[in-house]
Amino acid sequence: MNQQYNCDVLIIGSGAAGLTLALHLAKNSDVIILSKGLMNEGSTFYAQGGIAAVFDENDSIDSHISDTLIAGAGLCDIDAVRYTAENAKPCLEWLIEQGVVFDQEIGSSNYHLTREGGHSHRRILHAADATGQAIQTTLIERVKQHKKITLLERFNAIDLICQPKKSITASQEKFCIGAYIWNRSSEQVESIQAKKTILATGGASKVYQYTSNPDVASGDGIAMAWRAGCRVANMEFNQFHPTCLFHADAGTFLLTEALRGEGAILRRPDGSRFMPEFDDRAELAPRDIVARAIDFEMKRLGADCMYLDISHKDKDFIKSHFPTIYEKTLSLGIDMTIQAIPVVPAAHYTCGGVMINSHGKTDIDNLYAIGEVSYTGLHGANRLASNSLLECLVFARAAAIEIAGCIDHSLPYQTLPKWDESRVTDSDEEVVIQHNWHELRLFMWDFVGIVRTTKRLERALHRVELLQSEIDEYYRHFKVSNNLLELRNLVQVAELIINSALNRKESRGLHYTLDYPETDKEAKVTILTP
């Protein structure tokens, strides 16, 4: 008999958004956090740069808002931007109270603030070049100390469990009562019933062949919400980080934007600088501009990579500000204090996602989404550097306020419908999943990457529809596995990305198409409805 868990609040995802929400809600609610891998395997842990907030007296919230709107290329929701900027400092102060230690100026109590592309001021709080690791480890420690929080590691969420509403006057047709989950240790399907369910599963950059994201970033929450009936928005806006380390043994190692904020220069293989030819802000232009410039130069020259050079800075400065990057590159035979670092763009951040209101509520009652899985309107057509972790904190707190005010602790639990696997067998063709996985990520990179055309997108859509039919048939006949669940979700997200891109007949922000190179005067959000 498959196990059923019961809780007040189910949080699917264990990054900054999910852990922050859990700590806010656990004062009065029993919380379960579902983590697909180990707690430190998500994107938060690998975030290097920092979190944007106004701490400098020469800076202003209006300036932070303006920078975000400019980076978003006219497609940001002004209310979401203002709300985020105004709540940035209180949320960072809460994080500091939890024990996160940010770098301070030498001999001063003031925080050391760095500057990244698109920002007009120094406003990035950081913990050396491993800010995400500092945040994640601190929040994990706090969560593990809390008696009302249960952690389920190595559990995949399969699908949300929803029921129709009985009242025909209800504004939402159905409500979420929990989720089916797959226990990776016992390889059994189990279930969780919850009065409130929150998706905090991160983005979908693993849909691309080259990405800075860890393996868990497979778009699970977006796909589950779509299958349950939620709208998604702006899925065509995939941010490609300009500077991932290009080395056969580097994996998905990211080179933080703060390098360019501290003066690093992008160079061609011959050593010449090229960014001033593309934008007056040069290396400090927003990420979409820098990524396209690198991509353009690589294709024009037939080069495997470009180079990021900070060797003109003081050696001790480099080693103290970027210790993680220094050690990593040195281990690969690159001394960044005297050499330029080979770099390529890679998929980094999903700017679109599940549509929510200002408190994280989705189209389905009792279902919320926070963090990269969601569409808040903050990022528009391109995310401003270091606004991502900030969004996690701000909207986790907003959702906590909403949930704490409306959760009914007296509601009785019920027995959930059992998972039916009476007609499935163990697969003896796991190679099919691997082949489909590689095919999907390759054609998404080739056809739905940094530069797009209608013909490429149509080819990609045709390929993804064929894959969907194969994977659906496979899913119906064989028992679930981690790879099958992730592939099923990635193929669904790929279709959403492609259809969103086909619907946008212009170039804006992260979506650049050779068929429609101009930007429309009127900015419109792309909304897809199941």
Active site residues: 287
DSSP-assigned beta bridge partners for residue 52: 124
DSSP 474: H
17: left (phi over 0), alpha (psi -120 to 50) or beta: alpha
Torsions phi, psi for 245 (to 5 deg):
-60, 125
Q: CA-to-CA distance for 140 and 42, rounded, in angstroms?
A: 12
Torsions phi, psi for 127 (to 5 deg):
-115, 90
Q: CA-to-CA distance for 264 and 193, rounded, in angstroms?
A: 50
Radius of gyration of the chain, Cα coordinates, nearest whole angstrom: 22
Residue 224 is encoded by which pair of tokens? 């589950």
Q: CA-to-CA distance for 369 and 10, rounded, in angstroms?
A: 12
Q: Which H or E run includes 151?
A: strand 149-153
- Cβ atoms of 263 and 298 within 8 Å: the answer is no
Sheet containing strand 527-528, strands side by side: 374-375, 353-355, 232-233, 527-528
Contacts of 289 (CB under 8 A, 6+ apart): 278, 279, 281
Give the dihedral of Cα atoms 441, 447, 452, 454; nearest 10 deg: -130
